[in-house]
Amino acid sequence: AQSVTQPDIHITVSEGASLELRCNYSYGATPYLFWYVQSPGQGLQLLLKYFSGDTLVQGIKGFEAEFKRSQSSFNLRKPSVHWSDAAEYFCASSGSARQLTFGSGTQLTVLP
């Protein structure tokens, strides 16, 4: 069965600092990978997705993610964090089961 692990429950960064949120997946083949963001009291919004091809994927709001097969990882990055980026971030994968399996989420706090 596929699974997604987000090792960091909570990350705090200062505004303007760089950010990396970790995601590891477990799946026999190459999964389809997604990062979603959930702002307080809101639904989930897709930041970016990886299906195939270029392993560095650009998303909305200045986010990018890199797929590394050798490490079974799909980490999310942003070079300079803004206060409005404070939210819960979810990594998800979709394989042969054709349904999204979510990680447990990482809560991002941004300090002024």
Partner 1 sequence: DTAVSQTPKYLVTQMGNDKSIKCEQNLGHDTMYWYKQDSKKFLKIMFSYNNKELIINETVPNRFSPKSPDKAHLNLHINSLELGDSAVYFCASSPRAHKSYNEQFFGPGTRLTVL
Q: Which residues are at the interface with partner 1 (CB under 8 A)?
A: 31-32, 34, 36, 38, 41-46, 49, 51, 88, 90, 94-96, 98-100, 102, 104-105, 107
According to DSSP, residue 30 is labeled P
53/112 with CB nearer partner 1: 53
> CB atoms < 10 A from the CB of 37, how many?
20
For the CB of residue 105, give the shortest distance to partner 1 in the complex, in Å.
Answer: 5
Q: Which is nearer to partner 1, 10 or 82 (CB)?
A: 10
Q: Taking the CB of residue 105, how many other CB atoms lie within 10 A of it?
A: 18
Amino acid identity of residue 25, one-letter, is Y
Nearest CB to partner 1, comparing residues 24 and 94: 94
Beta carbon of residue 38, minimum distance to partner 1 (angstroms, whole number): 8
Q: Which of 61, 34, 58 is CA-nearest to residue 46?
A: 34
Distances, alpha carbon 3 to alpha carbons 6, 82, 91, in Å: 10, 30, 10
CB of residue 107 to partner 1, shortest distance in Å = 8
